[in-house]
């Protein structure tokens, strides 16, 4: 395969060796080979239909491209830095293999619209894979939530005990975060699935191409409307990166809770040994490395989003070499997002709960204080007065070192004569969670109903 530049006609001096290596992208964009070949096959098919290529030329090009794909996948293809990128490597090999017909493939297109098409094809596929991993994680959460629909743990605000909730309800909160993430990716895909091919360098082409036909062959919703915008737009990559950052933010929040809950101080859950490591010096340690690493990778994904926004903010129309810098952050975002989702989907089913520890923690911190206030309101006490009464009862509990349910009826009636013996039914953890019996509430019956609705939603998609 010749390493002669396919654009060398204009130049009288060779490219500086360091500049050649510095400006080349083939070391990372070669992963687009499948999409580059897919786009080229569609382009050749369209050119033949338009009468720009003969049938024999089309067939020769397609057969040559398919052989190149096989060579790449078998490891027989030698990538050349001198040929700069995946597009020129493939085209040079094709021309070497089939002769002048290979030189005709680039008719009516440019590397500018070619790379934009490749990246969109790549991202379209990756979005579906990522949505599948989110779905797998959601199913794992639903199964675990169903198992733990009645398991009680303290709910927190400000990381202080607030009210008792069920663990199933807590897991369903994670499910809802991921449902929004999955929807966002589906919406993002609408803007990914627009075809730039045929925009050529920036102004379109003088050849009688049929962009609607090419779009149909490649499964795009439609061709782009404006050639200048099509070759320079990276909104779709930025939007995906923003959606990825949100997903990672959610996984990081989940990670933080798993890390806290698995600590000796909380002791709410046990993470499987398969997802933990030990210490090189402290033999007792079991470190939650997987959630910690996911939490750490979140900052990396956030950085890629900011990097892409910064990359684009100063660019005039149309294509600029700056855009070569879009691929590495995008590829890294895709790889780390997929890996994080996969490990979470594998890890969640292997978590075991420690309901006794959860219950013991829920009994601390006066988690049923709001229930006592609601009790008084139902007895006719204005809420603000009930709030003050309960505050005084909590203060007594603090001074005695006991929970509200451990105060005597006489002690409780000292704060309000409306308190009767039936108050103890609302001061139990089970009574507290069962009382939240409405859609979106933490009552076990509502958790199971939410799981049922969620399964129906997933089954319909």
> 229 and 149 in one domain?
yes
Examine the fold and report which residue of 61, 88, 107 is the final residue of a domain before the chain moves on. Answer: 107
What is the predicted pLDDT for the residue at 276? 86
> 389 and 266 in one domain?
no
> 100 and 118 in one domain?
no
Nearest CA among 446, 252, 451, 255 for reference residue 351 = 255
> 66 and 13 in one domain?
yes
What is the predicted pLDDT for the residue at 82? 93
> 368 and 333 in one domain?
no
Residue 392 lies in a domain: yes
Give the position of tokens 């080349």: 24
> 126 and 79 in one domain?
no
By CB atoms closer than 10 A (0-12, 13-18, 19+), residue 413 is: middle
Question: Is 279 a catalytic site residue?
Answer: yes
Pairing label, strands 152-157, 222-223: unpaired
Cβ atoms of residues 416 and 389 within 8 Å = yes
Residue 219 lies in a domain: no
Nearest CA among 72, 2, 63 for reference residue 33 = 72
Pairing label, strands 352-353, 269-270: antiparallel
CATH code for position 237: 1.20.200.10
Range of the domain at 383: 364-459
CA pair distance 148, 220, nearest whole angstrom: 44
What single-letter DSSP state applies at residue 180?
H
What is the predicted pLDDT for the residue at 418? 95
Which position among 2, 263, 272, 279 bears the catalytic label?
279
What is the predicted pLDDT for the residue at 6? 58
CATH code for position 86: 1.10.275.10
Residue 149 lies in a domain: yes
Residue 214 lies in a domain: no
Question: Is 408 a catalytic site residue?
Answer: no
The pair of structure tokens assigned to 237 is 């990559």
Which position among 158, 274, 399, 438 bears the catalytic label?
158
CA pair distance 114, 211, nearest whole angstrom: 13
Q: Buried (b) or exposed (e) across 62-97, using 16+ Cβ within 10 A?
A: bebbeebbeebeeeebebbbbbbbbbbbbbbbbbeb
> 322 and 180 in one domain?
yes
Q: What is the mean pLDDT, run by run of 10 residues, along the chain of 461 residues?
A: 54 66 89 98 98 98 98 97 96 97 97 98 98 98 98 95 96 98 98 98 98 98 98 98 98 98 96 84 81 97 98 96 96 98 97 96 89 94 95 94 91 94 91 94 98 95 74
Angle between helices 369-378 and 383-400 (to 10 degrees): 140
Examine the fold and report which residue of 314, 336, 360 is the final residue of a domain before the chain moves on. Answer: 360
CA pair distance 282, 247, nearest whole angstrom: 34
Task: Count Cα neighbours of 360 within 13 Å in the Cβ-side half-sphere.
Answer: 8
The pair of structure tokens assigned to 281 is 């010096």
> 292 and 144 in one domain?
yes
Residue 346 lies in a domain: yes
What is the predicted pLDDT for the residue at 7? 45
Q: Count of residues for the chain? A: 461
Residue 59 lies in a domain: yes
| One-character DSSP codes across 285-346 | --B-HHHHHHHHHHHHHHHHHHHHHHHHHTPPSS--GGGGGGHHHHHHHHHHHHHHHHHHHH
Pairing label, strands 160-166, 269-270: unpaired
CATH code for position 414: 1.10.40.30
> 101 and 21 in one domain?
yes
The pair of structure tokens assigned to 460 is 């319909």
Cβ atoms of residues 94 and 102 within 8 Å = yes
Q: Strand, coil or helix: what is 403? A: coil
Task: Count Cα neighbours of 311 within 13 Å in the Cβ-side half-sphere.
Answer: 24
> 348 and 236 in one domain?
yes
> 58 and 163 in one domain?
no
Residue 229 lies in a domain: yes
Examine the fold and report which residue of 360, 376, 408 is the final residue of a domain before the chain moves on. Answer: 360
| One-character DSSP codes across 83-148 | G-SHHHHHHHHHHHHHTHHHHTTTTT--HHHHHHHHHHHHHHHHHHHHHHHHHHHHHHHHHHHHHT
> 237 and 176 in one domain?
yes
Residue 350 lies in a domain: yes
How many domains, in total, are found in the chain? 3
Task: Count Cα neighbours of 93 within 13 Å in the Cβ-side half-sphere.
Answer: 23
């Amino acid at each position: 395969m010749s390493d002669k530049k396919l654009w060398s006609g204009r130049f009288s001096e060779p490219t500086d060796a360091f500049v050649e290596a510095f400006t080349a992208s083939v070391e990372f964009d070669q992963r687009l080979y499948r999409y580059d070949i897919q786009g080229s096959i569609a382009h050749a098919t369209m050119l033949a239909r338009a009468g720009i290529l003969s049938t024999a030329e089309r067939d020769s090009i397609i057969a040559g491209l398919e052989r190149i794909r096989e060579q790449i996948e078998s490891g027989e293809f030698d990538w050349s830095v001198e040929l700069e990128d995946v597009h020129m490597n493939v085209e040079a090999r094709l021309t070497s293999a089939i002769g002048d017909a290979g030189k005709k493939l680039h008719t009516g297109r440019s590397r500018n619209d070619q790379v934009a098409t490749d990246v969109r094809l790549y991202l379209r596929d990756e979005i579906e894979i990522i949505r599948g991993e989110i779905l797998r994680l959601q199913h794992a959460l639903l199964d675990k939530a169903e198992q733990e629909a009645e398991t009680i743990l303290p709910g927190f605000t400000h990381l202080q005990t607030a009210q008792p909730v069920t663990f199933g309800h807590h897991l369903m909160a994670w499910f809802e975060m991921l449902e929004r993430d999955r929807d966002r990716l589906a919406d993002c895909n609408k803007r990914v699935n627009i075809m730039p091919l045929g925009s050529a360098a920036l102004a379109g082409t003088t050849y009688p191409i049929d962009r609607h036909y090419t779009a149909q062959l490649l499964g795009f919703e439609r061709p782009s409307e404006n050639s200048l915008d099509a070759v320079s737009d990276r909104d779709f990559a930025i939007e995906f990166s923003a959606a990825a950052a949100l997903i990672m933010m959610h996984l990081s929040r989940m990670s933080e809770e798993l890390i806290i809950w698995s600590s000796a101080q909380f002791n709410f859950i046990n993470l499987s040994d398969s997802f933990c490591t030990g210490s090189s010096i402290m033999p007792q340690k079991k470190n939650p490395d997987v959630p910690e690493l996911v939490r750490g990778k979140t900052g990396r994904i956030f950085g890629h989003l900011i990097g892409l926004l910064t990359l684009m903010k100063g660019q005039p129309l149309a294509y600029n070499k700056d855009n070569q810098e879009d691929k590495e952050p995008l590829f890294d975002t895709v790889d780390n997002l997929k890996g994080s989702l996969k490990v979470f989907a594998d890890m969640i089913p292997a978590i075991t709960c420690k309901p006794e520890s959860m219950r013991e923690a829920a009994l601390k911190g006066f988690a049923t204080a709001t229930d006592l206030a609601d009790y008084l309101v139902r007895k006719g006490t204005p809420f603000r007065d009930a709030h003050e009464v309960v505050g005084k009862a909590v203060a007594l509990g603090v001074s005695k070192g006991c929970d509200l349910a451990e105060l005597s009826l006489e002690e409780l009636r000292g704060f309000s004569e409306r308190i009767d013996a039936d108050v103890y039914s609302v001061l139990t953890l089970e009574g507290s969670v069962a009382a939240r019996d409405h859609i979106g509430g933490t009552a076990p019956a509502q958790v199971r109903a939410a799981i049922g609705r969620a399964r129906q939603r997933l089954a319909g998609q």
